[in-house]
C-alpha cells in the first residue's frame, strides 16, 4: 500500500464505549483481503483527517448515473484527489429498502459480497431519506455494482427533484397500535411512481411516509409531502379488567396524573369503581393513553388513515408541517387502494404543473392558498383541516351563499 | 454498438416486498398484535392476540458500517436470532426471537462484540445524523464524529430508562437540517455571509436559480472584474447557506465562523399535543473536532434538567410547556438573548400575548 496517512484526530474517535466508525474504516484499511479496499479506506481516512484539521469538507458533486436512470447515485469527486488518490471518486448508491426495513442475514451478506467486489465496504442502514446507502464507489464500478444487485431484486431510490424513496414504520408486523397495512400502502404508492423515482423531472423532491398510528414513528407529518397515518373512527376498545390490573400495579394516583389528566381533550374519566370511561366523540386518537396502558386500551375496529400534505424542512420559506387534507379514508378494498394512488397522482400532477423550480408541495400550497389547492385536486373543504377559522376580515365573500349551499347539500348527501 | 458492449437495461423493480425478509413470527402475526411491555431496557416483548410472544433486542451500531461489522451483526443474527433483523429509523439494529431463553445469550453476544443494547422507551436513543465531512458536498461539520463523541458521554442514558419519556437527538451539518426535528437538535449555524469567488461564478452557477434560492432576496446578479457574477447584500444576508449548494463558489463554510447551535422541543408524535417544531436555545458553540466537547456539555446540561424536573411521559416540549421558558433558561443556565426572539414570518404567534407570567 502507498503511504499510510496519519490520523491523530480521528484516532481520538476510537476511544470511548460507543461503537467507532473510525475503527471500522481501519479494519477495511488493514484487514480486508482486497488491496483496492485497503487503499480506498486509507485514502478516505486521510481526507477525513484533513477535514478535521482544516474544518472544511472536500467533496463536490457532479453527474453520475446508471444506464437508463437519471437518479439514485449521489456523485462525489474529491477536491483533494492529488493527495488522496484512491478515494478520488467516491459516489453513494441509494438503494430502496423494503417497507419496514426488514432483512434476512443471508441477504445482507449477499449485499456485502457484491459491495466488496466493487465498492468501499461502507454501508449505512439507512440514510435520512430512507435509502440503504452504499457509500464510496468509483464511476466505472457504479454501473457494475448496480447491475449485479439489480439482478437479485434491488433497485435504486430517488435523488434530486423526483419522488423519493418512501419510509414506513414496523407497524402491523410487530405493533399493536398499527391501524393500517403499512406494507401495502408503501408498496402501492412507491411502485406506482417508479418512473418518477428514477427520472427526476419534478419541481423538487416529493416524499411519502407511512406511520401506522398517531405516534408517527416515521416523522411523516413533518418530514413528508404526503403523510399517511393510521387511525380509527369507531370507539376505542377498553378492557376494564386490564384497567383494574394496571391501577393495582401502578396506583390510582398514577393513572390520574399520567393518563386521564394528560388526555388533550379531557375525554377520559376514571370512575369510582376503577373503570375507565372514554368520551369517544371527543377523543382525537392522539395515542397517549394507549401508549401508557397498551394492554387495557386498543384502537377500534373501523380503521383507516388520515392524510396530511405539505410537510418539509427549512429551505426555502421555513419549516412546514403537513396539514390534514383527508381526515379519514378507509383502506380495505382494491378500489380504496386505487383511489389512494390516484389521489397521490392528482397532487403530484398538479404540483408538477404549478410548482416553481425548487418549490416543495407545502410551499406551493403556502403560495397559492390551501383553498385553491383543494379546488385543484378536487377535495371539498372540511373543518378537520383547520385549527380555527380565519381571523382576518380582509377577504372577499362574493360567493358565500353558493358555498354555504354546497355545504348543506354535502351534509344532506352524507 | 456491438452486442457485448451494449449497456444492460435496468429491471425497474422499485421497492422490494418486505414479507420475504420479515421474521416468520411477524409474518404469521401481521396485524394481529395485542400488547407489549419492556422486560428490561433494550428489550421489548410483544404478544399476539393468540398469546404468541416475540422478544426484540435493540442494539446500537456506529451507523456508518464497514462490512466486517455488518457481517458480525449478521453472525449474531444467525447464531442467536433466527437469521432475521430489522433496522429502526435511528439506525439501531433489532433482533427478534420467539424464545425467551434466547434473549440473555443474545444480549451477551451483542455486548461481547462491542455493540450496545438499549434505546427503548424512556431512554436517549441513537442520534439520527447526516453525512458531514465524510461524504456531503456542503457540510459545515462532521456528523459521525459528533455523534460518536456525544454517545460516548450519553451511553448510560441509552442503556437505561431514566428519562421522563423518550429523547430523540438529531444532528445536521448545515442549515438544511437533514437530521430533522428532535427533542434536542445540534445543527450548524453559519455566522458570516458567503465568500464569493467571482472568477468562478459565471461558469459554475446558473445565476437566476441562485438568486431565486435566497430566502431574503439578498442576492443579485452583478459584473465583478468584468465577469458575470453575483453579489450579496451583506446587511440582508441571514447566512443560511442556501446559495451554496447551487453555487459552490459562494463558500459559506468557514473554519472559524461556522458554529453550532442547539435547538430543543421538536416532537413528531401526536401523543398529547400536536407535533411541534424545535426552538433555538443556544448558539455560537465552536465547531471543535475531534470531540466537540462544548456542544456535548450543553446537551448533557439540558438532559440533566429534563431528567430531574420532567414528569413521567413528558417529552422535552411538554416539560418546557409546563415549566415555561424562563424556568428553562434558569435551570439550564443558558443565556437568553435578543436572538431568541423570532422575526421570521408568523413570528408574532411566538410572543406571549397575555398576562401569563410565572413568578
Q: pLDDT (tens digit, 9 = 90+) per residue, B272-321?
A: 999 999 999 999 999 999 999 999 999 999 999 999 999 999 999 999 99
B15 CB contacts (<8 Å, ≥6 apart)? Answer: A96, A97, A98, A99, A155, A165, A166, A186, A187, A190, A191
Per-residue burial over A333-371, b if 16 or more Cβ lie within 10 Å, else e, is eeeebeebeebbeebbebbeeebeebbbbbbbbbeeebe
Query: Which of B21, B88, B270 shows the shortest C-beta gap to A214?
Result: B270
How far is CA B113 from each of CA A51, A139, B69, B71, rounded to the nearest angstrom?
30, 35, 9, 12
Do B33 and B105 lie in one domain? The reply is: yes
Check B14 against A190: CB less than 8 A apart.
yes
Say whether A28 and B175 touch across the interface (CB within 8 A). Answer: no
* pLDDT-based confidence at residue A211 (cuts at 50, 70, 90): very high
Q: Looking at the structure, tell me whether residues B53 and B140 fall in a common domain.
A: no
**Residues of chain B contacting residue A223, judged by C-beta atoms under 8 Å apart:** 180-181, 268
**Nearest residue of B to residue A193 by CA position?**
B14
Domain presence at residue B167: yes
Secondary structure (3-state) at B232: strand
Instruction: Quickly state the pLDDT bin for B176 (edges 50, 70, 90).
Output: confident
Nearest to A68 among B10, B35, B63 (CB): B10
**Same domain assignment for residues B288 and B327:** yes
The pLDDT assigned to B175 comes to: 87
Which of B14, B47, B120 is best to mutate for the A interface (most A CBs within 10 A)? Answer: B14
Residue B36 shares a structural domain with residue B112: yes
The predicted pLDDT at position B2 comes to 53
Q: Are B195 and B161 in contact (CB under 8 A)?
A: no
Report the residue of chain A nearest B78, measured CA to CA.
A105
pLDDT at A374: 98
Helix (H, G, I), strand (E, B) or coil at A253: helix
**A291 contact residues in B (CB cutoff 8 A):** 271, 313
pLDDT at B3: 57
Q: Which residues does chain A have within 8 Å of residue B311's beta carbon, measured at their own beta carbons? A: 257
CB contact under 8 A, B148 and A16: yes
**pLDDT at residue B5, rounded to an integer:** 76
Residue B2: partners with Cβ closer than 8 Å, 6 or more residues away: none
CB contact under 8 A, B64 and A216: no
Instruction: Report, as an integer, the average pLDDT of A339-355.
Output: 98
Cβ under 8 Å to A: B residues 156-185: 175-181
E-strand stretches of chain B: 33-40, 43-48, 53-60, 64-66, 84-87, 93-97, 116-117, 169-172, 184-190, 195-196, 219-224, 227-232, 250-251, 258-264, 279-285
Tell me the shortest Cα–Cα distance from B85 to chain A, in angstroms. 5
Residue B249 cell numbers, joined: 463558489
Chain B interface, best mutation among A103, A120, A133, A160, by max B CB count within 10 A: A103
A65: three-class secondary structure by DSSP: coil
ipTM attached to this prediction = 0.96
Same domain, B183 and B205: no
Q: Averaged over B203-228, what is the pLDDT?
A: 95
User: Rounded distance, CA B185 to CA A222, Å?
Assistant: 15
Which residue's entry shows cell 413470527?
B25
Give the per-residue pLDDT at B6.
85
Please report residues of A whose CB lies closer than 8 A to that of B139: 57
Inspect the interface and report whether the beta carbons of A98 and B18 lie closer than 8 Å. Answer: yes
From chain A, pick out residues whose CB is under 8 angstroms from the CB of B128: 128
Residues B183 and B271 in one domain: yes
Q: Are A118 and A141 in contact (CB under 8 A)?
A: yes
Choose among A94, A67, A63, A65: nearest CA to A77: A63
| Mean pLDDT value across chain A | 97
pLDDT in tens, A136-149: 999 999 999 999 99
* B43 shares contact with chain A (CB less than 8 Å): no
B272 CB within 8 Å of a chain A CB:
yes
Q: Which of A9, A103, A292 sits opposite B21 (nearest CB)?
A: A103
Q: Is residue B356 part of a domain?
A: no
Minimal C-alpha gap between B210 and chain A (Å): 11
- Chain A residue with CA closest to B164: the answer is A258
In which band, very low, low, confident or very high, does the pLDDT at B345 lie, cut at 50, 70 and 90? Answer: confident
Query: pLDDT band for position A315 (50/70/90)?
Result: confident
Chain A residue whose CA is closest to B128: A128
B22, B135, B295, best to mutate vs chain A, most A CBs in 10 Å = B135
Q: In this structure, are B225 and B110 located in the same domain?
A: no
The answer to whether B87 contacts A101, with C-beta atoms less than 8 Å apart, is yes
Confidence of residue A186 (pLDDT cuts 50, 70, 90): very high
DSSP letters along A183-196, please?
Answer: HHHHHHHHHHSHHH
The share of chain A scoring above pLDDT 70, in percent, equals 100
- Kindly state whether residue B143 falls inside one of the protein's structural domains: yes
* Neighbour-count burial of A184, counting CB atoms closer than 10 A to its CB (0-12 exposed, 13-18 middle, 19+ buried): middle
> Mean pLDDT throughout A167-186?
98
Q: Please answer yes or no on whether A28 and B22 come within 8 Å at the CB atom.
A: no
Whether residue B249 is contained in a domain is answered as: no
Rounded to the nearest angstrom, the minimum Cα separation between B245 and chain A is 9
Question: How many domains does chain B contain in total?
Answer: 3
B188 grid coordinates: 450548524
pLDDT band at residue A40 under the 50/70/90 scheme: very high
User: Using the beta-carbon criterion (under 8 Å), do A61 and B10 form an inter-chain contact?
Assistant: no
Min Cα separation A121/chain B (Å): 5
Question: Chain B: nearest CA to A408, how far in angstroms?
Answer: 30
| 3-state SS class at B58 | strand
Q: What is the CATH number of the domain that holds B142?
A: 3.30.413.10
Residues B302 and B154 in one domain: yes
**B250 in any annotated domain:** no
Same structural domain for residues B171 and B315?
yes
DSSP B62-116: -SEEEHHHHHHHHHHHHHHSTTEEEE-TTS-EEEEES-GGGHHHHHHHHHHTT-E
Please check whether residues B318 and B228 belong to one and the same domain: no
Q: Across the interface, do B177 and A314 touch by the CB < 8 Å criterion?
A: yes
Q: Please report the pLDDT score of residue B236 as a whole number.
A: 97
Chain A contact present for B208, CB below 8 A: no
> CB distance A128–B180 less than 8 Å?
yes
Last residue of a domain, one of B117, B151, B175: B117
A/B interface, count of CB pairs below 8 Å: 361
Shared domain for B107 and B221, answered yes or no, is no
Domains of chain A: 8-54 (no CATH), 167-232+302-413 (3.30.413.10), 238-298 (3.30.70.20)
Query: B30: domain range?
Result: 18-117
Q: Is B36 on the interface with A (CB under 8 A)?
A: yes
Q: Count of H helices and E strands in chain A? A: 15, 16
Is B334 inside any structural domain?
yes
Which among A102, A319, A356 is the nearest to B84, CB-wise? A102
Cell of B270: 401526536
Closest partner residue to B61 (CB to CB) among A19, A116, A194 is A19
- Does the beta-carbon distance from A315 to B215 stay under 8 Å? yes
Whether A166 sits inside 8 A of B15 (CB atoms) is yes
Residues B182 and B207 in one domain: no
Compare all CA atoms of chain A with the CA of B49 and give the residue at the minimum distance.
Answer: A176
The reply to whether B248 touches chain A by the CB within 8 Å rule is yes
A234 C-beta neighbours (distance < 10 Å), count: 11
Amino acid at each position: 500500500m502507498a503511504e499510510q496517512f496519519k490520523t491523530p484526530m480521528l484516532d481520538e474517535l476510537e476511544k470511548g464505549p460507543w461503537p467507532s466508525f473510525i475503527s471500522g474504516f481501519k479494519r477495511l484499511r488493514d484487514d480486508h483481503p482486497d488491496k483496492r479496499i485497503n487503499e480506498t479506506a486509507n485514502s478516505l481516512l486521510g481526507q477525513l483527517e484533513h477535514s478535521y484539521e482544516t474544518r472544511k469538507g472536500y467533496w463536490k458533486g457532479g453527474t453520475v448515473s446508471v444506464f437508463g436512470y437519471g437518479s439514485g447515485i449521489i456523485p462525489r469527486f474529491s477536491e483533494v484527489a492529488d493527495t488522496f488518490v484512491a478515494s478520488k471518486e467516491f459516489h453513494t448508491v441509494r438503494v430502496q429498502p423494503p417497507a419496514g426495513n426488514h432483512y434476512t442475514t443471508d441477504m445482507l451478506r449477499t449485499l456485502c459480497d457484491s459491495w466488496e467486489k466493487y465498492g468501499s465496504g461502507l454501508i449505512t442502514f439507512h440514510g435520512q431519506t430512507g435509502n440503504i446507502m452504499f457509500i464510496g464507489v468509483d464511476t466505472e464500478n457504479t454501473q457494475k455494482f448496480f447491475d449485479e444487485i439489480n439482478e437479485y431484486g434491488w433497485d435504486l431510490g430517488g435523488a434530486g427533484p423526483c419522488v423519493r424513496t418512501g419510509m414506513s414504520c414496523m407497524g402491523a408486523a410487530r405493533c399493536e397500535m398499527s391501524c393500517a397495512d403499512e406494507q401495502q400502502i408503501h408498496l402501492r404508492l412507491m411502485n406506482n411512481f417508479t418512473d418518477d423515482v428514477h427520472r427526476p423531472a419534478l419541481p423538487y423532491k416529493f416524499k411519502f411516509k407511512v406511520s401506522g398510528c398517531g405516534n408517527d414513528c416515521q416523522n411523516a407529518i413533518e418530514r413528508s409531502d404526503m403523510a399517511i397515518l393510521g387511525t380509527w373512527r369507531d370507539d376505542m376498545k377498553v378492557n376494564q379488567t386490564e384497567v383494574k390490573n394496571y391501577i393495582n400495579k401502578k396506583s390510582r394516583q398514577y393513572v390520574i396524573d399520567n393518563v386521564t389528566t394528560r388526555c388533550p381533550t379531557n375525554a377520559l374519566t376514571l370512575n369510582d369503581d376503577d373503570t375507565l370511561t372514554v368520551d369517544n366523540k371527543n377523543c382525537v386518537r392522539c395515542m397517549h393513553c394507549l401508549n401508557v396502558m397498551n394492554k387495557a386500551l386498543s384502537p377500534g375496529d373501523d380503521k383507516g388513515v388520515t392524510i396530511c400534505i405539505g410537510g418539509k424542512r427549512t429551505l426555502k420559506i421555513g419549516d412546514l408541517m403537513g396539514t390534514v387534507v383527508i381526515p379519514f379514508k378507509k383502506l380495505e378494498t382494491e378500489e380504496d387502494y386505487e383511489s389512494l394512488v390516484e389521489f397521490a397522482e392528482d397532487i403530484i400532477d398538479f404540483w408538477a404543473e404549478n410548482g416553481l423550480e425548487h418549490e416543495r408541495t407545502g410551499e406551493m400550497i403556502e403560495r397559492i392558498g390551501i383553498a385553491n389547492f383543494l379546488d385543484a385536486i378536487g377535495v371539498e373543504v372540511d373543518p378537520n383541516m383547520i385549527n380555527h377559522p380565519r381571523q382576518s376580515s380582509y377577504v372577499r365573500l362574493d360567493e358565500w351563499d353558493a358555498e354555504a349551499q354546497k355545504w348543506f347539500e354535502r351534509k344532506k348527501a352524507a | 454498438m456491438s452486442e457485448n458492449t451494449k449497456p444492460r437495461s435496468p429491471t425497474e423493480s422499485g421497492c422490494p416486498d418486505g414479507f420475504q425478509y420479515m421474521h416468520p413470527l411477524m409474518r404469521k402475526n401481521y396485524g394481529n398484535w395485542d400488547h407489549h411491555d419492556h422486560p428490561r431496557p433494550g428489550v421489548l416483548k410483544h404478544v399476539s392476540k393468540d398469546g404468541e410472544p416475540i422478544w426484540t433486542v435493540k442494539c446500537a451500531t456506529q451507523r456508518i458500517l464497514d462490512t466486517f461489522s455488518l457481517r458480525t451483526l449478521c453472525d449474531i443474527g444467525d447464531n442467536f436470532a433466527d437469521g432475521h433483523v430489522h433496522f429502526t429509523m435511528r439506525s439501531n439494529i433489532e433482533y427478534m426471537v420467539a424464545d425467551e431463553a434466547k434473549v440473555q445469550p443474545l444480549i451477551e453476544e451483542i455486548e461481547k462484540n462491542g455493540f450496545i443494547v438499549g434505546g427503548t422507551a424512556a431512554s436517549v436513543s441513537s442520534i439520527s445524523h447526516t453525512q458531514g465531512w465524510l461524504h456531503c458536498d456542503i457540510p459545515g461539520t462532521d456528523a459521525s464524529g459528533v455523534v460518536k463523541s456525544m454517545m460516548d458521554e450519553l451511553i448510560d442514558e441509552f442503556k437505561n430508562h431514566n428519562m421522563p419519556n423518550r429523547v430523540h437527538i438529531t444532528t445536521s451539518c448545515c442549515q438544511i437540517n437533514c437530521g430533522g426535528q428532535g427533542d434536542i437538535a445540534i445543527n450548524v449555524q453559519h455566522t458570516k455571509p458567503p465568500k464569493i469567488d467571482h472568477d468562478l461564478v459565471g461558469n459554475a452557477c446558473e445565476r437566476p436559480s441562485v438568486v431565486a434560492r435566497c430566502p431574503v432576496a439578498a442576492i443579485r446578479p452583478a459584473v465583478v472584474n468584468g465577469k458575470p457574477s453575483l453579489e450579496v447584500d451583506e446587511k440582508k444576508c441571514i447566512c443560511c447557506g442556501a446559495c451554496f449548494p447551487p453555487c459552490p463558489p459562494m463558500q459559506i463554510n468557514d473554519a472559524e465562523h461556522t458554529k453550532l447551535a442547539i435547538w430543543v422541543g421538536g416532537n413528531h408524535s401526536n401523543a398529547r399535543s400536536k407535533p411541534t417544531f424545535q426552538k433555538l436555545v443556544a448558539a455560537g458553540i465552536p465547531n471543535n473536532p475531534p470531540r466537540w466537547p462544548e456542544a456535548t456539555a450543553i446537551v448533557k446540561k439540558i438532559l440533566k434538567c429534563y431528567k430531574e424536573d420532567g414528569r413521567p411521559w413528558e417529552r422535552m416540549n411538554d416539560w418546557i410547556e409546563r415549566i415555561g421558558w424562563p424556568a428553562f433558561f434558569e435551570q439550564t443556565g443558558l443565556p437568553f438573548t435578543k436572538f431568541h426572539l423570532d422575526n421570521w414570518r408568523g413570528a408574532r404567534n411566538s410572543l406571549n400575548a397575555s398576562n401569563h407570567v410565572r413568578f
